[in-house]
């Protein structure tokens, strides 16, 4: 008698969990739209990031928050979270301003190990928390500036 009740309880829990998963939703496209210095101390610096969130789905995404990390030139630079709620319309986009924090060590790592390219390669990845549907992961990358190709052009001699 106890075994059937336990099985029924397990099935009920599994069905309830499936009801909160983002079934059939594609992850949003999240890209870095802007970065601004927001102050800091010697050991910690804060930045305001504008993230452009694009919804590829046929239904609105009710986002309750976001957590993310930012890499620059292949090295972790900053991370942040936000509990700011917003809605991205179906097949629409929304720009949200969030805060990210970096440490002195992460800043020095960027300055002390310059890449051999001009410009800045970045990667933003994380998750958006959906109202009542769990969360969806996202990742995007890009480059700001011009990549150096080969050795510099030698100027002719007279």
Residue 4 lies in a domain: no
Q: Whole-prediction pTM value? A: 0.70
Structural domain of 113: 25-144
Domain count, the chain: 1
Structure-block tokens of residue 144 = 């700001």
Here the CATH number for the domain that contains residue 117 is: 2.60.40.1820
Q: Is residue 157, in this structure, part of any structural domain at all?
A: no
Reading the chain (158 residues) residue by residue, the pLDDT tens digits are: 544 433 333 433 443 444 444 578 888 999 889 989 999 998 999 999 999 999 999 999 999 999 999 998 888 889 999 999 999 999 999 999 999 999 888 877 776 665 555 677 889 999 999 987 688 899 999 887 655 555 444 444 43
Name the residue among 98, 54, 96, 63 with its Cα closest to residue 79: 98
């Amino acid at each position: 008698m106890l075994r059937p009740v336990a099985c029924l309880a397990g099935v009920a829990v599994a069905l309830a969990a499936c009801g909160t998963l983002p079934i059939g939703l594609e992850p949003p496209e999240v890209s870095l739209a802007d970065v601004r210095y927001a102050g800091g101390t010697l050991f910690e610096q804060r930045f305001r990031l504008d993230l452009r969130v694009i919804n590829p789905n046929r239904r609105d995404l009710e986002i309750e928050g976001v957590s993310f990390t930012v890499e620059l030139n292949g090295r972790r630079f900053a991370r942040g979270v936000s509990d700011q709620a917003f809605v991205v319309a179906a097949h629409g986009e929304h720009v949200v301003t969030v805060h990210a924090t970096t440490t002195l060590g992460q800043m020095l790592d960027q300055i002390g190990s310059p890449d051999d390219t001009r410009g800045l390669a970045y990667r933003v990845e994380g998750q958006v928390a959906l109202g009542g549907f769990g969360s969806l992961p996202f990742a995007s990358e890009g480059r700001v500036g011009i990549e150096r190709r080969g050795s510099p052009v030698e100027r002719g001699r007279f």
